[in-house]
Amino acid sequence: MNSELKAEVDRLAPVGEAIARLLSPHAEVVLHDPATDRVVAIWNPLSRREVGEPSLLGELDGLTETGRDVYGPYPKSLPDGRRLSSVSAVLRDADGKAGLVLCVNVDRTAFEEAGRILAAFAAPVVQQPRVLFERDWTETLNELVGDFVRDRGVPVDRLSRRDRLELIGRLEAAGVLSQRRSVPTVARALKISRSAFYQLLGDARKEATNHADPA
Amino acid sequence: MNSELKAEVDRLAPVGEAIARLLSPHAEVVLHDPATDRVVAIWNPLSRREVGEPSLLGELDGLTETGRDVYGPYPKSLPDGRRLSSVSAVLRDADGKAGLVLCVNVDRTAFEEAGRILAAFAAPVVQQPRVLFERDWTETLNELVGDFVRDRGVPVDRLSRRDRLELIGRLEAAGVLSQRRSVPTVARALKISRSAFYQLLGDARKEATNHADPA
DNA sequence: CACGCTTCGGACGATATGTCCACTCAAGAC
DNA sequence: GTCTTGAGTGGACATATCGTCCGAAGCGTG
């Protein structure tokens, strides 16, 4: 770490510590150096990261978007399943170049739990045991693929790349892909190889975020 | 009021007062005499009723149902619009006749408000790639666990082994466990370790097939 | 205090997930 | 016909998750 950067980090340390204390023990504060993608300071490390480690939680994702220096809050989660709400701030130096990125990650579990308790207390009472999930996800898969193919009037193995991206987007939106072991089945349903599927999925996701977030 | 009844009321007074204090200032406790349909004692009277007045809020509705001596919680509301959650308990005398009815009315407004605040804090945040399956499986998880815990009246980390088996069975039936990456979160929600979870899951499945398949 | 029963916290092997890449194939461009 | 390009294939790999095991506590009992 060069001395200029170090001075800057030292200058910001009280801010990081203050925020961490304010929200303690439910939040961690991390200072990143985007140039090296390393953690340069961290307070109350919920994520167990240490100074010098690479930035693992992806706080820096999407920071190349233009025109904004504050991001979030957006959802993340810890390896143990705790869910976080995170915000990031880009700290620019005098000539406007990104110098450091400050991230605050709040552990939502306590708040969710408390909220649930209160909600339950305040709830409209009774309520039935909440029925099953949906139906088997394979049915959703069949239906989505079937509809799509029917709509395009083309058998599934003659779909264009663009169509496949679209269809995969729908499958993902429907949550099919977050079902365990669904990928091989889905790839088979689309009559493409597993690897081709992942390629398309990658592109589909890229496209989705571009469309949804044309900042 | 006959002296026998009065003695009974005096005997219960500490209970009423204790409950009222516990939930103060959000709850009132009312003791009714169903024979005369009068309030025979009241603590922290949100509803402004006084001893001797007729029972106005309808706490006694439906108390003719058979086989139960505990009712609710069910919703009611105050003249000023505040909403209440209410429970009633029938207190029988030695020969099984209904002697008194104890009602606890909790003013939900404060809890609802607090719940909203926390919910906002813990909220799913921004996010554009929404449109999930049904709703987030974590909500199903929360709901199932919350209901169960409420039903048993025991915090999740004090559940018995048997209860946990039951609850895990429900989670599995609801499809939560076939959701990718759900296990760590579920284990955490149950406040047990991942390995303990798998152990219980194994037993739960064994049990399920035994019951379903008594061949 | 020993004993039985649970859970904890890791270690580990087994699967499942994602990435990569060299190679094939088909469709147009030249 | 040959070249170029883009999509897809199969399979090797690197990780991540899953599920199992086991010794070490924690705890209520006799």
Statement to judge: residues A91 and A147 lie in one domain: no
Cβ–Cβ of B133/A213 closer than 8 Å?
no
Q: Is residue A125 part of a domain?
A: no
Statement to judge: residues B142 and B84 lie in one domain: no
Positions of chain D reached by protein Cβ under 7 A: 6-12, 17-22
Q: Which own/partner contact pairs does A140-148 have at CB distance under 8 Å and 24+ positions apart? A: A140/A174, A140/A176, A141/A171, A141/A176, A141/A182, A141/A185, A141/A186, A141/A189, A142/A189, A144/A170, A144/A171, A144/A174, A144/A176, A145/A171, A145/A189, A145/A190
A182 vs B35: which has the higher pLDDT: A182
**Three-state DSSP state, A45:** coil
Of the residues B111, B142, B172, the one at which a domain ends: B111
Tell me the average pLDDT across B72-97: 75
Task: Check pLDDT > 50 for residue B77.
Answer: yes
Enclosing domain of residue A14: 3-110
Statement to judge: residues A87 and A150 lie in one domain: no
A1 — pLDDT class (breaks 50, 70, 90): low
What is the torsional sign of CA B77, B78, B79, B81? negative
Statement to judge: residues B96 and B7 lie in one domain: yes
Tell me the average pLDDT across B100-107: 85
A73 — pLDDT class (breaks 50, 70, 90): confident
Of the residues B111, B142, B162, the one at which a domain ends: B111
Q: Is residue B117 part of a domain?
A: no
Residue B160 tokens read as 């018995």
pLDDT tens per residue, range B112-161 = 888 778 777 666 554 433 334 545 788 788 888 888 887 887 888 888 99
Tell me the average pLDDT across A167-179: 90
Report the percentage of chain B scoring pLDDT > 90: 14
Stated as kind and residue range, the H or E segment containing B185 is helix B182-189
Q: Is residue A49 part of a domain?
A: yes
Q: Is residue B116 part of a domain?
A: no
Statement to judge: residues A22 and A78 lie in one domain: yes
Statement to judge: residues A43 and A100 lie in one domain: yes
Statement to judge: residues B135 and B45 lie in one domain: no
Instruction: For residue A212, report the phi and psi dihedrals to the nearest 5 degrees.
Output: -75, -20
Statement to judge: residues A84 and A7 lie in one domain: yes
A211 — pLDDT class (breaks 50, 70, 90): low
Statement to judge: residues B26 and B104 lie in one domain: yes
Residue whose structure tokens are 């076939």: B178
Q: Is residue B199 part of a domain?
A: yes
- Indicate if CB(B162) is under 7 A from strand D: no
Tell me the average pLDDT across A3-21: 81
Q: Is residue B67 part of a domain?
A: yes
Q: According to the model, what pLDDT value does residue B19 have?
A: 82
Interface of A with B (CB under 8 A): 72-75, 77, 79-83, 85, 108-109, 111-112, 114-116, 118-127, 129-130, 132-134, 173-175, 178-180, 208-209, 212-213
Q: Is residue B194 part of a domain?
A: yes
pLDDT tens per residue, range A77-112 = 777 777 888 888 888 766 666 678 888 888 887 787
A68 — pLDDT class (breaks 50, 70, 90): low
CA–centroid distance for A68 within its chain: 18
Statement to judge: residues A18 and A82 lie in one domain: yes
Report the number of distinct structural domains present in chain A: 2
Instruction: For residue A92, report the phi and psi dihedrals to the nearest 5 degrees.
Output: -95, 150
Chain A residues within an 8 Å CB radius of B188: 80-82, 109
Statement to judge: residues B152 and B180 lie in one domain: yes
Q: Is residue B2 classed exposed, middle or buried when 0-12, 13-18 and 19+ CB atoms within 10 A define those classes?
A: exposed
Q: Is residue A120 part of a domain?
A: no
Report CA(A186)–C1'(D9) in Å, whole number.
17
Cβ–Cβ of B188/A79 closer than 8 Å?
no
